[in-house]
Structure 1
């Protein structure tokens, strides 16, 4: 059994290999050589008595044992950082927070929360990635995942940040061209991940009204749907926070004041573990406070 490297160094190197899917990439990040990274990987595999990665000429992939270790390694490293935070003499928060956020919220509203946090804590850096698809948390190397809708991973700790009100909007000119047509007969712009071809709205008493549409335009990007609505192409279901300024200015109008789409939860997912670095917990609290103010 090799004892040249301490356990935390071995785990940290392994996590970097898993994130970069490359020994040379991990070596560059760690400021060392590829042979040194290879020796550390071999030492960890020797210590654990198992193969953790499969190497090809192009990249490395984790074995089932490697995937299982990755979650444990991240949790242990996070708890070690939490210990350092409590007992270190260094003042203030420092380090990198890795965040995966939804495209719309992450590009606009939540980015403002992140900016406020970085202004308040100058030694913090944020790796800010925007994705609307479902991720494999353990493989992504993120500290927290903000997702609209349910988090389909019962191994994670999930906190609900807010519920988003959604309404049907369009331009006044678009509505005028429809000459009082029923909402189901209007040209629809749909966001595939939420509506598809099926629209479901609720009246003020909670009664559902559902109908099928043939979208004038469909997209997987909220900004595309928003811009098409602003151009008068059709009507769309959009979050109130996203269109608040347009409603105030009259650029968009509430097409069906007595109908609303179902509210969507905004969830924050974290890896399990008894302790996390202070910077992660403080960031999560800051995002929660921002959502309380604006959502």
Structure 2
């Protein structure tokens, strides 16, 4: 890579010399010194094994080989100029390919809704959605955006916290848990674990007073899939946690029922995670804005007025 960059500097120096007609003027254009320009020109000639210019104190002209190199280098410079304009446009106008990673449950719900709105607004952007409930490596996966549920701990990434997703305890319609009146009563019931968000130790918050209580529950079944844990609830395997957007229709229809109506689990942060850096393509920010607006209207979602960033 270093040698390629060195060659780039040498070619740019040569073009400046050819266009300016002397070393001193080229040095001013490049913001360097005349000896540096002279050395780079000699290095380029040595690398190519040919003389590119005939020069004296007062006269300078290109050799035939130098003129040919100038012609080819100018063609390359024109292509680079087009690339530069395209890349600059990418940072201001959504275009290109947007690769998103998110959890299965969200991906099959409001992430797809956000993508539909996004594609309607920006049809020139192609979208790839990868769903996983496991760990995500943005660099390794070559992804633009990770919609993270539960919080990202990597301090090297840029994190925009969109808000908090509330969660309630539910069970199947026929599950024998109506006698639970206080959080401590849950200890006699099996917990459907959702790795890593719901495990044996639960922190519950009173919706009336804000009081917090911690209870221990045994988990005979656990999964890292949100949809799988919800299906386990429907099948009567125990008490589980779900966000209102997921269980709302079944609650209304009586297919599942709420356990401890006056209490909720600690809400889960929803974050938009990207690779840290000064410049971010417009296609990423445009999608995050659409997703944030959609989440604001999602049942059980608590919108944050200010996002937070860990790295920028």
Q: TM-score, normalised by structure 2?
A: 0.63
1:169 CA displacement: 0.6
The answer for the alignment partner of 1:104 in structure 2 is: 105
* Contact 2:98/2:126, CA 8 A, preserved across alignment: yes
User: Aligned partners of 1:172 and 1:251: how far apart in 2?
Assistant: 5
Q: CA 1:213/1:229 → structure 2, altered by over 3 Å: closer, same or farther?
A: same
| Aligned pairs for 1:210-229 within 5 A | 210-229=214-233
Counterpart for residue 280 of structure 2 = 276
- Correspondence for 1:154: 155
Q: Deviations over 1:130-174 (max 9, x none)?
A: 123333332221111111122112122211112000000112311
Structure 2: runs of 5 or more not aligned:
10-83, 302-312
8 Å Cα contact 1:81/1:276 also seen in 2: no
Gaps of 5+ in 1: 8-78
Does the CA contact (< 8 Å) of 1:148 and 1:264 recur in 2? Answer: yes
Would you say 1:292 and 2:296 are equivalent positions? yes
Q: Which residue of 2 aligns with 1:180?
A: 179
The aligned counterpart of 1:37 is: none
Pairing 1:246–2:247 present: no
- Number of the residue aligned with 2:32: none
Tell me if structure 1 keeps the 8 A contact 2:187–2:218.
no
Aligned-residue RMSD, C-alpha: 2.6
Q: Does structure 2 retain, via aligned residues, the 8 Å contact 1:170–1:230? A: yes
The structural deviation recorded for 1:191 is 0.9
Counterpart secondary structure, 1:229: helix
Number of residue equivalences: 218
- The Cα shift of 1:82 comes to 5.3
How has the CA–CA distance of structure 1 residues 158 and 140 changed in structure 2, closer, same or farther, with 3 Å as cutoff? same
Distance of 1:231 and 1:221 partners within structure 2: 15
Aligned counterpart, 1:199: 202
SS across alignment from 2:174? helix
